[in-house]
Structure 1
Amino acid sequence: MISTALVAIGHHFGIGAADTAWLISVLYLASAVAQPVLGKLADTLGARRIFLAGLVVVFASGLIGMAAPSFGWLIVSRLLLGVGTSSAYPAAMSVLRDEGRRVGRPAPRPVLARLSFATLGCMAVGPTLGGVLVMLVGWRGIFAVNLPVALIAFVVGTLWIPADPPRALAPSGESLGRSLDPLGIGLFATALTVLVFFLLDLAPPVWWLLAPFAVLAGLLAWWQLRRPRPFIDLRMIAANGPLARTYLRHGTSYLLIYCVMYGYTQWLEEARGFSSGDTGLLMLPMSLAALVCSLLGARTKGIRGPLTLGCLSLTGGAVLLFFFSGSTPLPVLLLAGVCFGVPQGLIGTSNQAAVQAHAPPESIGSAAGLQRTAQYIGAISASSLIALAYGQRASDSGLRLMAGACALLGVFLILLTLTDRALRPARGVRH
């Protein structure tokens, strides 16, 4: 929803696109760290507890954002929202794993597709709903809407999510703190924060920030390799090529998708002069295409075909954006949204199935959290690309710069997908 409110927020506080990009980055920075942490907690303490606790944080974020007296408080609200919502996906994957153990078989592809459909449904209606809220009640409605959503989800979760099965906190009586690896979490969060500060100020780049990032990344790798139960199991990821390539593919795909979700909407408002409500309606074809394709992707037996089609659609959409200007006809604007809606449905569902197929069953919550971490690193990179392309205001030349970079990444995605032997049907087995 925030995508159609960035311009209004910038005008209210007297700041430009490069500053409002922090509303994107801080949420995804918090999510990138919190997803694997809460995934591990869901594996350890139980999915239901973690999901409900996350909703409490989401409710608090809505209160702060609704009443924020300054832009800094909006940053706090988005940070809390990133932490709170990070409980949903890994908790859901843990619930599916526990249910699979109860019935004696893994979750079928259509069940995974419904989870993806729920996620995509929220992402898909977000720009449209956000535009309507900004038009009717102002940008604060973007934050206020989290209050009833969190309350409803808490009640429904309490009634419907199965009770958490008993499980030991850690082997050999290891404490919860030691099993969670707080030092690893701290190193990862600090390294990622430094990287985000570097990425968000690329004109010109602050090169010296790469030195502390390299040191922190090296310390993180050294510590994770020494730990018997690391925060990020680098050995497992290095030995599990299909899973590692799924993370790379997922993160790169969503870099392109978020460039459109945030960068394209800003261009529609600032360069083309559409209102927030009109922009939300213009993004509706993207939303509908994402929902339809998520259902169609669930009906396919393979993973490679839907991924390839999604990557081709991403690349084609980026090429189309490259030629946009102030005189681009309305039907072509709508077609661009469809080009980016198709991969949202196909890529999200297919990569989710790939994680389910290749991740170790006992740590599916952590693996799912790392998948979302890859997605949010892509989102952070997208906000950096948007800030570099636009500066303080969206423009035709900035859109072309962003679209050109996305087209090159789309070609890389196509090659990565076509050359991945693990995506062939004969190799689609659990590792």
Structure 2
Amino acid sequence: MTASAAIRTRFDRRLIAPMVLGSMLNPINSSIITVSLIPIGRAFDASPARTAWLVSALYVATAIGQPVVGRLVDVLGPRRLYLGGAVLVGLAGVIGLVAQDLWTLVVARIVLGVGTCAGYPSAMYLIRAEGRRTGEDSPSGVLTVLAVSAQTIAVIGPTLGGLLIGVAGWRATFAVNIPIAIACLWLGARRLPRHDALEETRQHGRFDVAGTVLFGVALVSTMLFLMERRADLWPLLVLALASLTLFAYAELRHRDPFVDLRLLGASPALVATYARNLLSATVTYAFIYGFTQWLQESRDLSPAAAGLMSVPMFATAIAVSTLTGRNPRIRAKLVVGSAVQLGVCAGLLLVSASTPLWTLALLTLALGVPQGLISLANQNAVYHQSPAARIASSAGLLRTSMYVGAVLAAAATGTFLHAGATTVGLHALATYALVAAALALALALADRSLARVGVRPQPQES
């Protein structure tokens, strides 16, 4: 093989920097806000219930925006969507820098959520395009880099936010997006290809506006009801059900639907991947939300000390992803990860006000194992289970399933800990998470097709 031919069969490493930077925009803004809520509330005399909208606004915008932008990436290619998303991220940073009231900040978070939606679907699209160009069916190393970078930035986000607030105040947690957006624009303009190896799979039909709107209405209505958890908001559920019904009808009739329900119907393995991701995210976020509150209220730990208790989980997740990323056995990762998740939930049922802190630290350490195994395995599963023409929108739906799981966890936390983060409330939340973990394990065990995903067939002997 000549040197030039060898280069053509390698993944273009110039793409890694813009891919990683774009994919990190969402997790860093999801985590950095956690240390900003108190100072923002003080600045605008806003209660925790009102500042919580800064978190919810990003979740809702991202849950809807990921598959929408992902579909646009499938149709138009990643370059324009990536650069457009970077512009919105920079704009959100400017809005946050000059905002004079809380609701303007909420608008900034919505703009930020939409802007960050392009990075991950674009990265998955580019990985698939490079896989086709190079003939490398399973670029596990690059997929691992993508997963580990997102996990790493989620860990350092609160620490970075604390440093920025200490130096320049809470507005710096918004303003930091301006230089990051400029870096994305520079890298994207210089390195993202104008043409790629997936162009022949693109479907240049009309964008499904009606399906997109109905999907958004159904998702927003459901998520608002779950976040507020008020009985008088039951009309939201009626609206969600009606929108979902019309959505299904519209998608089945559209030639190029926003969400290809026929594809999902013919690919139960892909649907199972979304379900596992949702269930696993529910467990993880229930632990993060509920366990952290319990540590502060029932164990009298400071917010900083309670936050440090989560560090072992993220550190273990990063280490596990790094060590196992190149192993193609997706089903084994999901089974082991779900089993450990189930064990951690069972362990939470045994904790009490007198449980030693080192035991609690071991629980968080153990939860890092499924964090590192499951998220990467589901990402790899979507990469292989999705058709090339819909890889970006499929990746977007994967992120949507994660955020829906986060909202379900937040709703459960608010329900079970509404009278305070007591040990009884934590045990109820752990039971809820235990059911989700058991369902995730059952899905992993039932789907035997996962044993073949990403594994190259062995050549037969002549």
Secondary structure at the counterpart of residue 200 of structure 1:
helix
1:126 aligns with 2:157: yes
Residue 152 and residue 204 in structure 1: after superposition, are their counterparts in 2 closer, same or farther (change >3 A)?
same
| Number of matched pairs | 425
Cα deviation digits, residues 44-67 of structure 1 (max 9, x gap): 222122112112211222233344
Taking the aligned partners of 1:79 and 1:307, their CA distance within structure 2 comes to 33
Partner letter of residue 160 of structure 1? R
Taking the aligned partners of 1:133 and 1:324, their CA distance within structure 2 comes to 36
1:91 aligns with 2:122: yes
User: 2:347 maps to what in 1?
Assistant: 320
Taking the aligned partners of 1:291 and 1:190, their CA distance within structure 2 comes to 36
User: 1:51 maps to what in 2?
Assistant: 82
Taking the aligned partners of 2:223 and 2:177, their CA distance within structure 1 comes to 26
Taking the aligned partners of 1:344 and 1:205, their CA distance within structure 2 comes to 37
User: 2:432 maps to what in 1?
Assistant: 405
Residue 8 and residue 392 in structure 1: after superposition, are their counterparts in 2 closer, same or farther (change >3 A)?
farther
Taking the aligned partners of 1:21 and 1:396, their CA distance within structure 2 comes to 24
Verify the 8 A CA contact 1:128 1:277 in the aligned structure 2. Answer: no
Cα deviation digits, residues 71-124 of structure 1 (max 9, x gap): 322322221221111111110011112212222332422221111112222223
Taking the aligned partners of 2:33 and 2:418, their CA distance within structure 1 comes to 19
**Aligned runs of 1:87-166 on 2, under 5 Å?**
87-133=118-164, 139-165=170-196
User: 2:24 maps to what in 1?
Assistant: none
User: 2:325 maps to what in 1?
Assistant: 298
TM-score (norm 1): 0.88
1:80 aligns with 2:107: no
Taking the aligned partners of 1:35 and 1:106, their CA distance within structure 2 comes to 24
**Aligned runs of 1:17-28 on 2, under 5 Å?**
18-28=49-59
Residue 22 and residue 426 in structure 1: after superposition, are their counterparts in 2 closer, same or farther (change >3 A)?
closer
2:410 to 375, 379, 383: 383
Secondary structure at the counterpart of residue 99 of structure 1:
helix
1:65 aligns with 2:96: yes
Partner letter of residue 60 of structure 1? L
Task: Give the gaps of 5 or more residues in structure 2.
Answer: 1-31, 458-462
Between stretches 67-76 and 358-367, larger displacement belongs to 67-76
Aligned-residue Cα RMSD (Å) equals 2.9
Secondary structure at the counterpart of residue 300 of structure 1:
coil
Taking the aligned partners of 2:175 and 2:294, their CA distance within structure 1 comes to 25
User: 1:244 maps to what in 2?
Assistant: 271
Post-superposition shift, 1:392?
8.0
Taking the aligned partners of 1:65 and 1:147, their CA distance within structure 2 comes to 10
Q: Matched residues, percent identical?
A: 38
Taking the aligned partners of 2:172 and 2:293, their CA distance within structure 1 comes to 19
Taking the aligned partners of 2:220 and 2:407, their CA distance within structure 1 comes to 10
Cα deviation digits, residues 374-418 of structure 1 (max 9, x gap): 112112222222222334864444433322211221111111111
Taking the aligned partners of 2:444 and 2:186, their CA distance within structure 1 comes to 41
Secondary structure at the counterpart of residue 255 of structure 2:
coil
Residue 87 and residue 353 in structure 1: after superposition, are their counterparts in 2 closer, same or farther (change >3 A)?
same
Partner letter of residue 209 of structure 2? P
Partner letter of residue 244 of structure 1? V
1:202 aligns with 2:233: no
1:354 aligns with 2:405: no
Verify the 8 A CA contact 1:16 1:392 in the aligned structure 2. Answer: no
Taking the aligned partners of 1:331 and 1:193, their CA distance within structure 2 comes to 41
Taking the aligned partners of 1:149 and 1:371, their CA distance within structure 2 comes to 24
Partner letter of residue 156 of structure 1? L
User: 2:262 maps to what in 1?
Assistant: 235
Partner letter of residue 24 of structure 1? V
Verify the 8 A CA contact 1:17 1:393 in the aligned structure 2. Answer: no
Taking the aligned partners of 2:324 and 2:111, their CA distance within structure 1 comes to 33
Taking the aligned partners of 1:18 and 1:57, their CA distance within structure 2 comes to 27
Taking the aligned partners of 2:314 and 2:45, their CA distance within structure 1 comes to 31
Partner letter of residue 152 of structure 1? A
Verify the 8 A CA contact 1:313 1:340 in the aligned structure 2. Answer: yes
Larger radius of gyration: 2
The one of the two structures with greater contact order (alpha-carbon pairs below 8 A, sep at least 6) is 1
Taking the aligned partners of 2:143 and 2:439, their CA distance within structure 1 comes to 27
Partner letter of residue 260 of structure 2? D
Cα deviation digits, residues 282-305 of structure 1 (max 9, x gap): 322122111111112313221111
Residue 184 and residue 147 in structure 1: after superposition, are their counterparts in 2 closer, same or farther (change >3 A)?
same
Between stretches 347-356 and 329-338, larger displacement belongs to 329-338
1:345 aligns with 2:372: yes
Between stretches 124-133 and 222-231, larger displacement belongs to 124-133
Taking the aligned partners of 2:361 and 2:277, their CA distance within structure 1 comes to 25
Between stretches 28-37 and 66-75, larger displacement belongs to 66-75
Post-superposition shift, 1:4?
4.1
Taking the aligned partners of 2:273 and 2:449, their CA distance within structure 1 comes to 10
Residue 351 and residue 169 in structure 1: after superposition, are their counterparts in 2 closer, same or farther (change >3 A)?
closer
User: 2:392 maps to what in 1?
Assistant: 365
